[in-house]
Each structure stands twice: as structure tokens, then as C-alpha cells.
């Protein structure tokens, strides 16, 4: 209770303080008494009619200053031009510029010419005579570039040390790609680079094999762009007299199809597309599929790739004269080599014949010219052959390709009711000629049917087995018969006669008469009768 005793508080003091509210309200009232102020005067100063706005407008009228817009625009342009011109006063050292350009590629390069700066049409540094060294061959140049344009960001141009290059443009570049160093290139380019956008204009890519020239892609225009989502590269040029287009796109965020490769040859009407899937495990197996189209020719395949070897698990081949499937392996390094099993369901010989006879002479001469880099084995079979006269029902063969030559280890022909035939030999290619050297065994099972087929009458007996050896000039279409025998060897006179009639009748009009059944019938009747 002692804390609430009212006697402890002096109410008289409180009352005295309350009385102090007298704070002379009369004085305060005097200070705020509105009658004290003359509002009419204040109004006079704020009255708009008091001021002559027409005069003020004259001073503020933009028309009086008709050149002010030009002055402002000129000032802005001058300021921008001055800012953009700042790098022109920098001293660009070649060694530092070389480091800036090539650090992303991790290769050595050098600037042989001058370095200039220009801000039109955008800020850029221009280089003359730029050389890129081959990363796989010390002392050899991979590319020589006449002009290089380094497009730079317009921001922070005043800081020489922080110039930001946004794009590299190569003009009139000559690139030497050595196929012998392909594996070294592959390892090098497999590295992850932080690459800038790159454009190549009016370039040339020359393919060599050591000191040997192979081919060239001319008028090359190349573009490369990369971001966090995708990377894309495209190439346009002229290859073997045809317009070539190559596009590569990598979807970095995709878990399924990450790489897509396109190839087009316009004149040849060739289109190829490959989808490459990322490895599903650590076994480094890359899977994919591809499509190849050329007019009515179509090839589709599912493949695996590992250790420089492409394995076709399932593939279909179709064009206007054949239909089939194949499987096998293709090795690319250190040399191109293949081992394929091709199983053709059907072969339309009539269509093949029609397409063959319309070829021009130059194509016919080079029809069996095989690049010496194509090596491998081919097991080729045809289950059904459609022909107007049906002489060959089916065939199976074993063919080997070696340094441009073709070796036929076995070619078995099913002649139906006739019997069968087998051919061995090879096609030798060199700079002067292309010849097919062969040995042929013909087995006639039904002589009567054979005679009826070729309109040979009054003949019951004859040779059922025949051996023929010779060579066939594939460029000039001339047959040379070295030996003919059945039970015994034919004499030279008979052999020469048969050779002569073969060339006169069956090769009278080249391939057109060679595959003509009526010409064949005429030749057989003549030989048998003689």
C-alpha cells in the first residue's frame, strides 16, 4: 500500500503546472490572427493576369532557336564519335593480340601485317596476314588468312586492357587439312574450347595426304556460333564442281539426340542426315542413325561407333533397280576399310540396263575407277533378278577392294534350267587402262533347253562344260580371249574367230549391245553352228 499512498504526490504542484497552460494564448492568437495579413496583396502577386506570358513565350519559343536541334544532334554525334575513336590511339602489340585471339584455341598463331582500328560500321580491329600453325605438325601452317576482323563490344572502349572481342571474321583464308593427321586433329578438336563466334568468308580448304594433293573445297563460307543451349556450325562452298552445304548442330541440353549432321550436294541431289546419340554408359559407344538420299536412291541405317569403327546393326538400301539390306563394319583410321554383307531381295536388270546405256562416254570409261583409298570386303548376294529374258535367276559373290583394284574371289551365277556358271578374276586400275581379267566356267545341265532357248535346232549333242579365260578392256570395250576349252583346249584359230565375232556382235554398240539378248542369241547360234 505504501506505493499507492496518495499523500506521497503533491497535487498542488500538478495543478500549478496545469495552470501553466495559460502560455498566453492571447499572444498565440495574435500571431495567427488572419486579419493581421493583407491577402489582397498576396493575391495580386499570384494573379496570372499580372504577368505578360506572351513575352515569356517569345523567349521560350523554339522557333527563335531554329538551329538548336542541329547543335544538340551534332554534339551527340561528336561525343559518340569521340568515344568510338578512343581505341585508335592505342598501341596494339602483336604479341598481345596473338594471345587474345588464339588463347581459346590453344594454338600458336602470328600476325605478319599491320593492325588497324575502325569504328565503322561497328567497332573492330583489323589484322593483315594472319597465320595459324598446325597443332599436329610443328613448323607447318594450318591456315593463312589475308584479312582478320575482330569485332569488339562498344562498351568500355576507353580501357585498353578490357577490350571485349565478340566475333572473329576470317577473309580470304587458305586452310591445309592433312588427312594423315586426321586422328591428331580429332584429338585436338575434341577438347572443350570457349570459342567465340567465327565467320570464314571466301575461304579455301585444301585436303592433302602428306605431300599428295587430294581435293579442294572452294569459295568456302563458314559460320560457328555457340551458347549455353546449342552450338552450330555451317559450311557452304563448291566441292568437285558441285555446291556443298554442311550443317552441324549440337543440342547441349538434350539427353537423347545431341548432335545432328546435315550434308547436301545440290547438283548431285544428294542429301544426308545423321542423328548421333550420346553414350548411355561409360563404354564410349556412340549410337545413331542416318539417312542418305540421292534422287530415287535411299539408304537408312542404325549404327554404333567405337574405337574408330562404325558398325551397321541394321540398314536398308533401295533404289529404282534394287532393294535389299546390309550389315557390317567400316573402319576409318588409320585407313578406310570395310567388311559388309549385302543381301539384295530383288534386282531389276532391265532398269539397270536402261540406266547404263544412257551414260555418257566419259562416265562409262570411269565406271569402274575406284579410289585407291577404298579398301575392304563385300559379300554380295541377289535372291531374285528380274529380266526380260531371265537368263540369270540369282547370284552370290565375294569381292575384295584393294588400292583401287577389285578382286572377285567368287561369283556364282544361277542360270536356272540352263545350269550354272562361276567367275573369278579382278579389275586392275592404273593411269593408262582398266582391265577385267577373268576365268569363267560354264556348266550346262540341260542342253535341249539351252538349244531351244537360243533357237538352235537339229542339234542334240554338244559341250556341256566350257572354260573361258581372257581380259576385257572396260574403257575401250574390247574383249581379248586367251583360252577356251571343254574336254580339250581350242586351237588358236578357233579362239581368235570366237574373239572376233564376240567383239563384232556383242560389242558393236558398247554396253547397249553387250546386254542385248538378241545379240547374244545371234552370237551363240553362230558359234555353235560353226
pTM for this entry: 0.65
Q: What is the pLDDT of residue 18?
A: 46
Question: Which of 262, 257, 219 lies closest to 239 in space, CA to CA?
Answer: 219
Q: What is the pLDDT of residue 418?
A: 85
Residues 496 and 473: their CA atoms lie apart, in Å, by 16
Residue 52 predicted with pLDDT over 70: no
In terms of pLDDT, which residue wins out, 423 or 258? 423
Q: What is the pLDDT of residue 481?
A: 95
CB contact at 8 A, 264 and 245? yes
Q: Rounded to 5 degrees, what are φ and ψ at 510?
A: 70, -140
Model confidence pLDDT, tens digit, residues 190-208? 555 567 888 999 999 998 8
Q: Is 344 helix (H, G, I), strand (E, B) or coil?
A: strand
198-209 vs 165-178, strand pairing mode = parallel
Q: Rounded to 5 degrees, what are φ and ψ at 525?
A: -60, -40
CB contact at 8 A, 290 and 273? yes
Model confidence pLDDT, tens digit, residues 435-460? 899 999 999 888 888 888 888 876 66
Residues 480 and 477: their CA atoms lie apart, in Å, by 10
The residue count of the chain comes to 530
pLDDT grade, residue 137 (50/70/90)?
A: confident
**For range 208-236, the mean pLDDT:** 88
**For range 366-379, the mean pLDDT:** 83
Model confidence pLDDT, tens digit, residues 286-323? 888 989 998 888 999 999 888 778 899 889 999 888 99
CB contact at 8 A, 242 and 218? no
Residue 277 predicted with pLDDT over 60: yes
Q: What is the pLDDT of residue 23?
A: 46
pLDDT grade, residue 397 (50/70/90)?
A: very high
Cα distances (Å, whole numbers) of residue 468 to 416, 451, 487: 20, 20, 12
CB contact at 8 A, 273 and 289? no
Residue 63 predicted with pLDDT over 70: no
Model confidence pLDDT, tens digit, residues 463-512? 678 999 999 998 888 999 999 998 889 999 999 999 999 999 999 988 88
124-133 vs 141-152, strand pairing mode = antiparallel
Strands of 44-184 (E only): list them: 109-111, 115-118, 124-133, 141-152, 165-178
CA atoms within 13 A on the CB side of 358: 6
Average pLDDT of every residue of the chain: 82
Can you read off the three cell numbers belonging to residue 1? 500500500
Lowest mean pLDDT among 157-166, 204-213, 218-227: 157-166
What is the sign, positive or negative, of the torsion defined by CA atoms of 405, 411, 413, 419?
Answer: positive
462-469 long-range contacts, CB within 8 A, separation 24+: 462/528, 463/487, 464/419, 465/441, 466/441, 466/442, 467/439, 467/440, 467/441, 467/442, 468/438, 468/439, 468/440, 468/442, 469/438, 469/439, 469/440
337-348 vs 385-386, strand pairing mode = parallel
Amino acid at each position: 500500500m505504501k506505493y499507492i499512498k496518495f499523500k506521497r504526490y503533491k497535487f498542488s504542484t500538478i495543478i500549478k503546472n496545469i495552470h501553466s497552460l495559460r502560455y498566453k494564448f492571447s499572444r498565440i492568437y495574435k500571431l495567427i490572427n488572419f486579419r493581421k495579413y493583407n491577402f489582397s496583396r498576396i493575391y495580386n502577386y499570384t494573379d496570372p493576369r499580372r504577368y505578360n506570358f506572351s513575352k515569356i513565350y517569345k523567349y521560350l519559343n523554339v522557333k527563335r532557336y531554329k538551329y538548336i536541334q542541329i547543335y544538340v544532334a551534332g554534339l551527340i554525334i561528336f561525343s559518340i564519335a569521340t568515344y568510338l575513336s578512343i581505341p585508335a590511339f592505342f598501341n596494339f602489340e602483336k604479341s598481345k593480340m596473338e594471345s587474345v585471339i588464339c588463347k581459346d584455341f590453344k594454338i600458336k598463331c602470328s600476325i605478319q601485317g599491320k593492325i588497324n582500328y575502325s569504328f565503322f560500321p561497328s567497332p573492330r580491329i583489323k589484322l593483315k596476314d594472319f597465320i595459324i600453325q598446325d597443332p599436329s605438325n610443328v613448323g607447318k601452317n594450318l591456315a593463312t588468312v589475308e584479312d582478320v576482323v575482330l569485332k569488339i563490344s562498344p562498351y568500355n572502349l576507353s580501357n585498353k586492357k578490357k577490350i571485349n572481342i565478340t566475333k572473329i571474321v576470317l577473309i580470304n583464308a587458305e586452310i591445309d587439312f592433312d588427312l594423315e593427321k586426321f586422328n591428331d586433329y580429332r584429338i585436338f578438336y575434341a577438347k572443350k574450347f570457349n570459342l567465340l563466334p567465327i565467320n570464314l568468308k571466301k575461304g579455301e580448304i585444301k585436303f592433302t595426304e602428306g605431300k599428295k594433293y587430294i581435293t579442294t573445297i572452294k569459295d568456302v563460307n563458314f559460320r560457328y556460333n555457340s551458347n549455353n543451349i546449342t552450338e552450330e556450325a555451317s559450311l557452304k562452298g563448291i566441292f568437285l564442281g558441285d555446291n556443298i552445304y554442311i550443317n552441324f548442330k549440337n543440342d547441349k541440353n538434350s539427353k537423347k539426340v545431341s548432335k545432328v549432321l546435315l550434308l547436301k550436294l545440290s547438283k548431285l541431289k544428294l542429301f544426308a542426315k545423321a542423328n548421333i546419340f550420346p553414350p548411355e554408359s561409360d563404354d564410349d559407344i556412340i549410337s545413331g542413325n542416318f539417312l542418305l538420299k540421292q534422287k530415287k536412291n535411299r539408304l537408312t541405317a542404325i549404327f554404333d561407333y567405337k574405337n574408330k569403327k562404325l558398325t551397321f546393326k541394321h540398314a536398308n538400301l533401295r533404289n529404282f533397280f534394287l532393294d535389299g539390306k546390309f550389315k557390317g563394319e567400316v573402319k576409318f583410321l588409320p585407313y578406310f576399310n570395310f567388311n559388309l554383307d549385302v543381301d539384295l531381295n530383288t534386282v531389276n536388270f532391265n532398269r539397270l540396263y536402261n540406266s547404263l546405256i544412257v551414260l555418257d562416254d566419259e562416265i562409262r570409261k570411269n565406271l569402274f575407277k575406284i579410289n585407291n583409298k577404298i579398301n575392304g570386303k563385300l559379300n554380295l548376294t541377289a535372291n531374285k533378278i528380274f529380266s526380260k529374258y531371265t537368263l540369270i535367276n540369282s547370284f552370290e559373290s565375294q569381292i575384295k577392294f584393294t588400292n583401287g583394284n577389285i578382286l572377285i574371289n567368287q561369283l556364282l551365277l544361277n542360270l536356272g534350267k540352263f545350269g550354272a556358271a562361276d567367275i573369278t578374276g579382278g579389275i586392275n586400275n592404273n593411269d593408262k587402262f582398266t582391265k577385267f581379267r577373268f576365268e569363267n566356267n560354264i556348266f550346262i545341265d540341260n542342253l535341249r533347253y539351252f538349244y531351244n532357248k537360243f533357237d538352235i535346232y537339229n542339234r542334240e549333242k554338244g559341250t556341256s562344260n566350257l572354260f573361258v579365260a581372257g581380259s576385257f578392256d572396260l574403257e575401250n570395250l574390247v574383249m581379248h580371249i586367251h583360252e577356251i576349252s571343254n574336254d580339250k583346249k581350242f586351237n588358236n584359230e578357233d579362239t581368235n574367230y570366237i574373239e572376233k565375232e564376240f567383239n563384232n556382235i556383242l560389242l558393236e554398240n558398247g554396253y547397249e549391245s553387250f546386254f542385248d539378248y538378241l545379240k547374244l542369241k545371234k552370237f551363240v547360234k553362230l558359234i555353235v553352228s560353226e
